[in-house]
Amino acid sequence: MSEVMEGSHGVAHAVKLCKPDVLAMYPITPSTHIPEGLAQLIADGKMDTKFITVESEFSAMSACVGVSAAGSRAFTATSSQGLLLMTEVVYAAAGMRLPIVTVIVNRTISAPINIWNDHQDTFAERDSGWLQIYCETNQEALDTTIQAYKIAEDAGVLLPVFVCMDGFVLSHTYEPLEVPEQNEVDAFLPPYTPKHAFLDPNKPITQGPFAYPKPYAAMRKELSDAIMNSKTVVKKVHNEFAEKFGRAYGDGIIEEYKSDKPTVIVAMGSVCGTIKEVVDERDDIGLVRIRCYRPFPKEELVKALEGKENIIVFEKDVALGMASGALYHEIKSILAGKNVRINNVVGGLGGIDTTKKNISNFVDRMKDQNDKIEFLRGDPNE
C-alpha cells in the first residue's frame, strides 16, 4: 500500500512490522520522530511492544543489550551526540554478538553544535563491529530496517546492525512510501526465536565474562571474521526481499549506476540521488554507491572500479589528522598499485547543501588530477 509519510514515520512503520518486544529510546534531533511515531503507535494500541523511556542514549543501548541478551527483539534509534554517548555500549553489543537493530538518522557531531546531516556520527563507530548500511531514499530506509533484523538474527551473523539514513534530507521529508503488509513481513521475518544462548534460569549461562589475552584475541578474531562473513547474508537477505517485495538496491552491497564510464564518483547516502541526476545530465560519468559500508565491500568495489581512470570519492565525513575523508583512504588502499587517479571531496559537512552544480564542477576540476582533496564550503556554484 502506498502512503505519503515522513521518512521517520516510514521507519516507525517498518519497526512495527518487525514486532520488536522492547524499545528503549531517547530523543535527539533529527531521529526524534521515530520514537515519537512508535510511542503513538503503542499508545493507539496498534503495536504490542514495551517502550522503555530511558533517561539517556547510554541507557537506551544498555537496555537493548539486556533485552537482546534475554532473548527478545530490541530496537532503538538515535543520532549524533546520542550515538557518541552510547559508543561504549555499541562496542560491547557487538563483542557480545547481540542482534540489535538501530536506525541512525545521521547528523554531524559537536563542536560546534549543529543539528544537520553528515556522516561523522556513524564514521565514529566504523570499527565497532556493527554492520552499517547507508540508505539513499526513505523507501530504502523502510525496507532496510526490515532486512536488518533478518541479517542481524541470522545464525551465521549474530551481529548488530546500523541502518543509516540522512537527517532531515530523508528523515523529515514526506513522500509516497510502499508499506508492506503485515502478513508479507511475517512470512519474510518469522516471529523471533533467538539463535544464541540467552539468560534463562533453566539453562544458566554467563554472558559478558572477563577474558585473559588469548581468549580475548581469539574472540576479536572471530568477531572480525563474523562481520566479514555477514556480507553474503546481507546480499542474500536483500535478494530475498527484492524477490518478495519487488524492490532492489543494487546487489544489496553496492549499486552501480551507469558506471561503465572512465570517471566515476563513489558516494553513500542521499547525496547519491543528486549525483544520479548529474550522471543522467552529462554522459561522461557514472556512480558507484556504497550501500553496505561495514563490512567493507572490498571485492565488489575492486570489481566495479576495475579499469577506471578517475575516481572521485565524495564523502560526508572528515578524518581529522588525515586532511581528507576516511573513505578516500579505504578506496585508495583497495586499489593500491592500480593505474587510476583518485581524488576526494569532503562535502556536506554540518548539513551544507551539495548542488548538482557542485558535483559537476568537482568532476571538471578533478578529472585530470590525482590525490586532490577539496572541502566543500557550501557555495552552490563552488
Partner 1 sequence: MNEPENELLAPGHRTCAGCGPAIAIRQMLRATGKNVVICEATGCMEVTSTAYPETSWKVPWIHVLFENVSSVASGVKEALIKQGKDDVKVIALAGDGGMVDIGFRALSGAMERGHDVLFLCYDNEAYMNTGVQRSGATPFGAATTTSPAGTEIAGKQEWKKNVPFIAVAHGLKYVATASIAYPEDFQAKIKKALSIKGPKYLHVHCPCPVGWGCDGAKTIKYAKAAVETGLWALYEIEEGKLKLNTKPSELKPAEEYLRGQRRFKHLKEEDIKKIEKHAKQRFDHLLELENSEISLLKVL
**Strand (E) or helix (H) holding 187:** helix 182-188
Q: CA 297 to CA 320: how far, in whole Å?
A: 23
- Between 217 and 228, whose beta carbon lies closer to partner 1? 217
Cα–Cα–Cα angle for 249, 253, 254, rounded to 5 degrees: 70
- Give the torsion sign (CA, 59, 61, 65, 66): positive
Q: DSSP character for 315?
A: E
Distance of closest approach, residue 101 Cβ to partner 1, in angstroms: 14
Distance of closest approach, residue 77 Cβ to partner 1, in angstroms: 16
- Between 81 and 137, whose beta carbon lies closer to partner 1? 81
Q: CA 127 to CA 159: how far, in whole Å?
A: 13
- Between 127 and 284, whose beta carbon lies closer to partner 1? 127
Question: How big is the chain, counted in residues?
Answer: 382
Distance of closest approach, residue 226 Cβ to partner 1, in angstroms: 17
- Between 202 and 381, whose beta carbon lies closer to partner 1? 202
- Between 201 and 321, whose beta carbon lies closer to partner 1? 201
43 burial via Cβ count (<10 Å: 0-12, 13-18, 19+): exposed
Distance of closest approach, residue 63 Cβ to partner 1, in angstroms: 3
Contact positions vs partner 1 (CB under 8 A): 21-22, 24, 50, 52-56, 58-60, 62-72, 74, 88-89, 92, 96, 199-201, 203-212, 215
Distance of closest approach, residue 160 Cβ to partner 1, in angstroms: 13
How far apart, in Å, are the Cα atoms of 263 and each of 278, 306, 342, 360, 368? 13, 11, 10, 12, 10
Distance of closest approach, residue 69 Cβ to partner 1, in angstroms: 5
Contacts of 121 (CB under 8 A, 6+ apart): 79, 80, 83, 84, 104, 106, 107, 108, 109
Distance of closest approach, residue 237 Cβ to partner 1, in angstroms: 24
Cα–Cα–Cα angle for 118, 271, 115, rounded to 5 degrees: 25
Asked if 179 contacts 10 with a C-beta cutoff of 8 angstroms, the reply is yes
- Between 215 and 380, whose beta carbon lies closer to partner 1? 215
- Between 58 and 245, whose beta carbon lies closer to partner 1? 58
- Between 2 and 214, whose beta carbon lies closer to partner 1? 214
Distance of closest approach, residue 18 Cβ to partner 1, in angstroms: 14
Distance from first CA to last CA of the chain, Å, rounded? 41
User: Which grid cell is 68?
Assistant: 537482546
- Between 191 and 337, whose beta carbon lies closer to partner 1? 191
Asked if 245 contacts 162 with a C-beta cutoff of 8 angstroms, the reply is no
Q: With CA atoms as reference, report the closest residue to 238 among 247, 230, 227.
A: 247
